[in-house]
Amino acid sequence: MRTTKSYKLENPIKFKEQLFQWSRQAYEVAWLDSNNHYSEAGNFDTLLAINAFTAIKTDTYQAFDKFREYQETTKDWIFGYLSYDLKNDVEQLRSRNFDGLFFPELYFFQPQKIIQLNGNTAKFHYLRMVDDEMDADFEEILSLAERGETIEKRAEEIEIKQRISKESYLQKVENMLSHIQRGDIYEANFCQEFYAENCKIEPETVFAELNRISSPPFATFLKLEQHYLMCASPERYLKKTGNKIISQPIKGTARRSQNAAEDREIAKMLEIDPKEISENVMIVDLVRNDLSKIAQKGSVKVEELCKVHSFKQVHQLISSISAELEADIPAVEALRATFPMGSMTGAPKISAMKIIEELEETKRGLYSGAVGYFTPEGDFDFNVVIRSILYNKENQYLSFSVGGAITAKSNSEMEYEECLLKAKAMREALSASS
């Protein structure tokens, strides 16, 4: 179905920059960048997929059934996203909050052209209908490097507003704490939106800046019609390799310091912080429960619990939970059984999602959903869409949301400060690229 050809690269870093620039001409783009976090992301340095041969786009109604049929019929590489609100397909839930972005709930495409970067090798996987363009495309990308072209910046001040005032946010956290005290939930992820209206940006420029600031293992740029995602996610939702699946939830955040001794101390304090550990452990239990629905008996294992991982902007506590898939479980069913990811909902999961919907004021959509890909063999890898900017080019609406886990030990003022810390990279990227 695909022709594969490898090219040796003299300057892999330069080639990567020009490859991203070259992709701007494509109608559909999925750019996945591991930013040299090989151990975390695995499989590739960078993966680019462009120009749909086929695609699926749907609302929540029977979305996973339609997606499974598409994936099993296509049996090829497919790239795309699952929005958070597919919760309404998995459970009897609704989404009634304000939506300024109007993204489809699920969107995947089968690309005509895929380019995979590993070290000093570029591997082109083209459908046979376009495989005669490989050499010309490779030369065109190289010629961009020779001309030294750069992505243009557009100077325009962006006025960012908050959907929820600080006072309202603090009150809503107190409301959520009262749910916890009553025993309705143990933990819930509560998010707030920052947005800009009548806003013109160059999405590629913003993404390049956001990726430079954060350089996380699951960075993603999506361009699907008028819908854009600029994502600097540090978190994996779910990966399938053969029969093995692994989930790596993040719960627990602390700032970085430019002072090395202070930075080590901050990381050490995060590692032993009882509030942050309890957040993480609750979600680990939830993920174990989700995986047990589709796993071979006794195969669910916690491979790593509450380990500190350090990124450019923040320290995070990450756990890794793995399982062996039960025989005859279709790949898409592994996603359905665990969606939405526990780190963005809370525990118990359904109660948390209902309370989240009550207290939040913005429809999450792609935020706290997942972006990823399937291989022809049915393996997949998906991130969690956090630390991300979403943009509808047609109505010029820009949005980014941030949130955190609320537990019995939460302090509303400190939760608000954590939100501002998480929003910092997105604000910087928008400011630097305008």
pLDDT in tens, 96-121: 999 999 999 999 999 999 999 999 99
Average pLDDT of the segment spanning 299-309: 96
Q: How confident is the model at residue 43 (pLDDT cuts 50, 70, 90)?
A: confident
- Three-class SS state of 378: coil
What's this model's pTM, rounded to 2 decimal places?
A: 0.95
d(CA 275, CA 328): 40
Q: How confident is the model at residue 313 (pLDDT cuts 50, 70, 90)?
A: confident
pLDDT of residue 40: 57
Size of the chain in residues = 434
Cα angle: 102, vertex 434, 161; to 5 degrees: 50
Which class for 59: exposed (0-12), middle (13-18), buried (19 or more C-beta within 10 A)?
A: middle
pLDDT of residue 37: 81
With 90 as the cut, is the pLDDT of residue 434 above it?
A: no
With 70 as the cut, is the pLDDT of residue 39 above it?
A: no
With 70 as the cut, is the pLDDT of residue 148 above it?
A: no
pLDDT of residue 156: 67
Q: How confident is the model at residue 147 (pLDDT cuts 50, 70, 90)?
A: low
pLDDT of residue 142: 95
> In whole angstroms, how far apart are CA 319 and each of 236, 238, 302, 306, 341?
10, 12, 8, 5, 13
pLDDT of residue 149: 46
pLDDT of residue 26: 97
Alpha helices in 195-345 (DSSP H): 203-214, 260-272, 274-292, 331-338
With 50 as the cut, is the pLDDT of residue 174 above it?
A: yes
Q: How confident is the model at residue 145 (pLDDT cuts 50, 70, 90)?
A: low
- Report yes or no: 32 and 373 within 8 Å, Cβ to Cβ: yes
pLDDT of residue 433: 74
> Residue 236 forms beta bridges with which residues?
248, 383
In the chain, where are the structural domains located? 2-236+328-432
- Three-class SS state of 425: helix
With 50 as the cut, is the pLDDT of residue 126 above it?
A: yes
Active site residues: 235, 251
CATH code of the region 2-236+328-432: 3.60.120.10
% of the chain at pLDDT higher than 70: 96
pLDDT digits (tens, 9 = 90+) for 318-374: 999 999 999 999 999 999 999 999 999 999 999 999 999 999 999 999 999 999 999
- Report yes or no: 430 and 158 within 8 Å, Cβ to Cβ: yes
d(CA 88, CA 301): 29
